Amino acid sequence: MKKLLVVGVSLLILAGFFGMMAMTFSFGSPMITDMDDYFLRHGQEQTASNNECTAVVFDYRGFDTLGESTVLFCAIIGASLIFRKMQGGEEHEDE
Protein backbone atom coordinates (compact mmCIF):
# COMPACT_ATOMS: atom_id res chain seq x y z
CA MET A 1 0.00 0.00 0.00
CA LYS A 2 2.81 2.34 0.97
CA LYS A 3 4.74 1.42 -2.17
CA LEU A 4 1.70 2.17 -4.29
CA LEU A 5 1.35 5.57 -2.64
CA VAL A 6 5.02 6.41 -3.28
CA VAL A 7 4.73 5.39 -6.93
CA GLY A 8 1.54 7.39 -7.38
CA VAL A 9 2.98 10.52 -5.81
CA SER A 10 6.15 10.26 -7.92
CA LEU A 11 4.11 9.83 -11.09
CA LEU A 12 1.99 12.82 -10.15
CA ILE A 13 5.04 14.98 -9.54
CA LEU A 14 6.61 13.87 -12.83
CA ALA A 15 3.38 14.58 -14.74
CA GLY A 16 3.15 17.99 -13.15
CA PHE A 17 6.77 18.76 -14.00
CA PHE A 18 6.37 17.78 -17.63
CA GLY A 19 3.06 19.59 -17.91
CA MET A 20 4.61 22.74 -16.51
CA MET A 21 7.53 22.41 -18.94
CA ALA A 22 5.13 21.95 -21.87
CA MET A 23 3.16 25.03 -20.76
CA THR A 24 6.25 27.19 -20.24
CA PHE A 25 8.37 26.37 -23.28
CA SER A 26 6.67 26.18 -26.65
CA PHE A 27 7.92 23.47 -28.93
CA GLY A 28 9.83 24.47 -32.05
CA SER A 29 10.40 28.12 -31.18
CA PRO A 30 13.34 28.50 -28.80
CA MET A 31 13.75 31.80 -27.02
CA ILE A 32 17.49 32.28 -27.58
CA THR A 33 18.54 31.66 -31.19
CA ASP A 34 21.65 33.82 -31.60
CA MET A 35 24.08 30.89 -31.82
CA ASP A 36 21.87 28.90 -34.23
CA ASP A 37 21.43 31.92 -36.48
CA TYR A 38 25.17 32.55 -36.51
CA PHE A 39 25.91 28.93 -37.49
CA LEU A 40 23.27 28.93 -40.20
CA ARG A 41 24.33 32.26 -41.70
CA HIS A 42 28.11 31.90 -41.57
CA GLY A 43 28.67 28.14 -41.54
CA GLN A 44 28.80 27.67 -45.28
CA GLU A 45 31.24 30.52 -45.86
CA GLN A 46 33.49 29.86 -42.88
CA THR A 47 33.82 26.09 -43.08
CA ALA A 48 32.91 25.57 -46.78
CA SER A 49 30.78 22.61 -45.73
CA ASN A 50 27.25 22.18 -47.02
CA ASN A 51 26.28 19.89 -44.16
CA GLU A 52 25.72 22.13 -41.19
CA CYS A 53 25.80 19.27 -38.68
CA THR A 54 29.24 18.18 -39.84
CA ALA A 55 30.40 21.79 -39.78
CA VAL A 56 29.39 22.09 -36.13
CA VAL A 57 30.63 18.66 -35.08
CA PHE A 58 34.01 18.70 -36.79
CA ASP A 59 34.83 22.39 -36.99
CA TYR A 60 33.06 24.64 -34.49
CA ARG A 61 32.96 21.92 -31.83
CA GLY A 62 36.05 19.96 -32.76
CA PHE A 63 37.04 19.47 -29.14
CA ASP A 64 33.85 17.56 -28.45
CA THR A 65 34.57 15.18 -31.30
CA LEU A 66 38.11 14.72 -30.03
CA GLY A 67 36.72 13.74 -26.64
CA GLU A 68 34.21 11.44 -28.28
CA SER A 69 36.93 9.63 -30.23
CA THR A 70 39.03 9.29 -27.10
CA VAL A 71 36.08 7.89 -25.16
CA LEU A 72 35.45 5.35 -27.94
CA PHE A 73 39.12 4.37 -27.92
CA CYS A 74 39.19 3.92 -24.15
CA ALA A 75 35.93 1.95 -24.21
CA ILE A 76 37.34 -0.48 -26.77
CA ILE A 77 40.58 -0.83 -24.83
CA GLY A 78 38.55 -1.66 -21.73
CA ALA A 79 36.32 -4.13 -23.56
CA SER A 80 39.34 -5.93 -25.01
CA LEU A 81 40.90 -6.11 -21.54
CA ILE A 82 37.76 -7.67 -20.06
CA PHE A 83 37.32 -10.19 -22.86
CA ARG A 84 40.97 -11.15 -22.74
CA LYS A 85 40.59 -11.87 -19.05
CA MET A 86 37.46 -13.94 -19.65
CA GLN A 87 39.19 -16.07 -22.25
CA GLY A 88 41.48 -17.55 -19.59
CA GLY A 89 44.45 -15.26 -20.01
CA GLU A 90 46.19 -17.39 -22.61
CA GLU A 91 48.29 -15.73 -25.29
CA HIS A 92 46.50 -14.64 -28.43
CA GLU A 93 47.63 -13.79 -31.89
CA ASP A 94 47.48 -10.10 -31.13
CA GLU A 95 49.92 -10.19 -28.24
Partner 1 sequence: MRMSRIVRIGADILYPAIVIFGLYIVAHGHLTPGGGFQGGAVIATGGALVIVAYSYKEVTEWLTKKVLMGQEVIGLLGFIGAGLLAFAVGQVFFFNFLANTGSLFGMPVPYGINPGELNTAGVIPVMNFAVGIEVWGGLTIVILYMLSGLEKEGT
Interface positions with partner 1 (CB under 8 A): 41, 44-51, 53-55, 57-59, 62-63, 65-66, 68-70, 72-73, 76, 79-80, 83, 87, 92-94
Contacts 24+ apart (CB under 8 A), 71-79: none
C-alpha span between 50 and 53 (Å, rounded)? 9
Identify which of residues 21 and 48 has a Cβ nearer to partner 1 in the complex: 48
Q: How far is the CB of 29 from partner 1 (least distance, A)?
A: 23
Min separation Cβ 30 and partner 1, Å: 22
Secondary structure of residue 78 in the 3-state scheme? helix
